[in-house]
Amino acid sequence: MEYFTATPPRQAQESKRLTPKIPQGVEGEGGTNTMPVAKLTIELEIPHAQSLKDRRQVVRSMKDKLRHSFNLSIAELDEGLVWNRATLGIAAISSSNSYLTGQLHQIDQAAHRMAALLSAEITDSYAEILPE
């Protein structure tokens, strides 16, 4: 014999929890709730690197300093097979395109300063703002 108990449907319970709450007054520039994503790619050349350890020291230092100075996500994009080159990917989000544009400019300037202090050179950097 099988017994069934009356339980409330799971869908009704889950729908209350999964409904996102959007705070009042949080809107993008156009009056809609948009959240553009900024992407900055930096290609580094590290001429003094004689080993993977030298390369790792420069890359880790730059990543930590940028992460500490700005509210961003940063990751190494290449495999690290070449000792004297590295590629960093940086991402940031905001509700304002103009804020992201200014922040990308500041991040790029800071990265150039840090690279000079670490005896490295930024060979290329390019930015892109992706819509939501």
Amino acid, res. 26: V
Query: Residue 76 contacts by C-beta under 8 Å, 6 or more apart in sequence?
Result: 59, 63, 86, 87, 88, 89
- Return the structure tokens found at 123: 């060979």
Number of H helices, E strands in the chain: 3, 4
The pLDDT score that the predictor gives to residue 19 is 39
- pLDDT tens digits, one per residue of 61-108: 999 999 999 989 999 998 878 889 999 999 999 988 999 999 999 999
Domains and CATH numbers, the chain: 35-130 (3.30.70.1120)
